[in-house]
Structure 1
Amino acid sequence: MIHKTALIDPSARIDPAAEIGPYVVIEGPSEVGAGCKIEAHAQLVGHVIVGEGTQIGRGAVIGGEPQDLGFDPATQSSVILGKKNVIREHVTIHRGSKPGTATRLGDGNYLMAGSHLAHDVVLGNRNILANAALLGGHIHVGNNTFIGGGAVFHQFLRIGDFCVIQGNGSFSKDIPHYCAAQRINRITGLNVIGLRRQGFSAEERGAIKDLFQTLFCRGMNLSQAVQQAAARQWPEKAQRLLEFVQAPSRKGVCPVRPGRGDD
């Protein structure tokens, strides 16, 4: 299942059940699992581990050097892809920026055409990145989050679970679990429809809404709101939202600005 025009490093390990298309280039000690399909002109550069059942589209480049002016090309780092990811055409994923580090994807993610993961990004499970979504270095994304086309994210921030993020948005602060975000660093509310579709009970959604109101909508600064919220007992899924905002990245958390009016 390896096309005769593919160029594969002798140190690469290709499962016999994988399919390697025309003009694919695999450089270095990459590993390609069972049931993987790598389409024409895609490239695996350096140490790339591709979990079973993953598809890599035409012209995608996985494992390229970080776009970091201080990066030493001799650095030994990698990209690790979990199982059953779909990586569409012309996606780029760069490897880790320090020795022994990796850019990581979990399982079941869908990266649409032209999206980009910079060095040291950690992407959880079952996330969707629409076309041309761009994530800077060291970003952590949770699970079951949808990121709209053309949305861009500054390095080192965090994006939680079950979020929905509008296309063409621009973000330099954390987006907590369960939130809807748009425009420039703007949280507009909870991803209510998404939570319902994902099987959150009415009681769980009610507790999350109550906590969200306490944290963002009652006139306190975030430190005061967190202190007040921490004095209560919350169900497990609401507690995860509280824990997220209790430990923000150095970027801080996006503020809540309801509505669609001008900034």
Structure 2
Amino acid sequence: MIHPTAVIHPSASLAADVEVGAYTIVGADVSIGRGTRIAPHVVIDGPTRIGEDNQIFQFASIGAAPQDKKFRGEPTELIIGDRNVIRECCTFNRGTTQDKGKTVMGDDNWIMAYVHIAHDCIIGNNTIFANSATLAGHVEIRDWVILGGFTLVHQFCVIGEHAFSGMGSAISKDVPPYAMVAGAPAEPRSVNLEGLKRRGFSAEAIHRIREAHRILYRQNLSTQDALSKIEAELGGHDDMTLLLDFCRNSQRGLIR
């Protein structure tokens, strides 16, 4: 299962059925769970923890030191969950001690070629990053987010559940759950209607989300007044609680 030209550090821990392709390098303090397949010409540095049933394609760089001038070789880490697909030439960096000390990716994510995930990013589950999407440091991407190709996300931004960015978007503020944004700089365009339908949201819930988006973005209200109106008219549902909590806890401010 391990090609004879692969270089595996003695301290690395690989499950018995892990596949490692030709000329791949697995460094010190790396663990890889069962069923994971590593293509040729991949470099994995540690400390890095990779779960089960992942696929990592050729020329990816996984767990390299963060691109942060303050980094001094501290033992920060990268954690990758289960069933992720990581395509060609992706670069995932470890965390820094100035923040969480780790970069984390959850489960069932589909990461296309040339994606960059910088230090201290937190990626949820069931996301899709199209080709060349790029995250600066300290970014949080929550569950079911889709990033269009060449999307750029500024450091410290948070993108909420079920949000969608169009191709070439440049995001410098927080994106609320369910929103569809596009442009450089990115602007709110609509709700992720097709995504919500595919994930089984009811017609009633979709109507409520669209109405909340209209209040937040189409009535010329301040953010605080819009959120108060959403709570008064549409509150009491889990989907609205998610939206309201996200908006009220935003640190960078919402994309408007």
**Same fold by TM-score, threshold 0.5 exceeded?**
yes
Deviation at 1:231, TM superposition (A): 3.4
Moved more, 128-137 or 96-105: 96-105
**Is the Cα contact below 8 Å between 1:136 and 1:155 reproduced in 2?**
yes
TM-score normalised per structure 2: 0.96
- Correspondence 1:134-145 to 2 at 5 A: 134-145=134-145
**Is the Cα contact below 8 Å between 2:34 and 2:52 reproduced in 1?**
yes
Deviation at 1:94, TM superposition (A): 0.3
Distance 1:22 1:161 in 2: 38
Deviation at 1:205, TM superposition (A): 0.8
Q: Could you say which residue in structure 2 is the equivalent of 1:260?
A: none
Q: Could you say which residue in structure 2 is the equivalent of 1:86?
A: 85
Q: Could you say which residue in structure 1 is the equivalent of 2:248?
A: 246
Distance 2:75 2:91 in 1: 19
Distance 1:24 1:61 in 2: 10
Q: Could you say which residue in structure 2 is the equivalent of 1:149?
A: 149
Q: Secondary structure at the match of 1:119?
A: coil
Q: Secondary structure at the match of 2:247?
A: helix
- The superposition leaves residues 67-113 of structure 1 with CA deviations (integer Å, 9 ceiling, x where unpaired) of 1111112x011110000000011100000011872111100001111
Q: Secondary structure at the match of 1:194?
A: helix
Distance 2:60 2:204 in 1: 43
The answer on 1:95 being equivalent to 2:94 is yes
Q: Could you say which residue in structure 1 is the equivalent of 2:40?
A: 40
Moved more, 61-70 or 96-105: 96-105
Q: Could you say which residue in structure 1 is the equivalent of 2:54?
A: 54
Deviation at 1:227, TM superposition (A): 2.6
Q: Secondary structure at the match of 1:63?
A: strand
Distance 1:219 1:164 in 2: 23
Deviation at 1:215, TM superposition (A): 2.0
Q: Secondary structure at the match of 2:104?
A: strand
The answer on 1:222 being equivalent to 2:231 is no
Q: Report the aligned-residue RMSD.
A: 1.2
**Is the Cα contact below 8 Å between 2:42 and 2:57 reproduced in 1?**
yes
User: What is the percent sequence identity of the aligned residues?
Assistant: 34
Deviation at 1:141, TM superposition (A): 0.5
Distance 1:219 1:149 in 2: 31
Deviation at 1:225, TM superposition (A): 1.4
Deviation at 1:217, TM superposition (A): 1.7
Where does the alignment leave 5 or more consecutive residues of structure 2 unmatched? none
Distance 1:148 1:112 in 2: 10
- The superposition leaves residues 40-81 of structure 1 with CA deviations (integer Å, 9 ceiling, x where unpaired) of 0101111111110001110101111111111112x0111100
Distance 1:229 1:148 in 2: 28
Q: Secondary structure at the match of 1:211?
A: helix
Q: Secondary structure at the match of 1:231?
A: helix
Letter in 2 for 1:244: F
Q: Could you say which residue in structure 2 is the equivalent of 1:197?
A: 198
State the number of aligned residues. 253
Letter in 1 for 2:5: T
Q: Could you say which residue in structure 1 is the equivalent of 2:13?
A: 13
- The superposition leaves residues 122-157 of structure 1 with CA deviations (integer Å, 9 ceiling, x where unpaired) of 000010101110001010011111111111111000
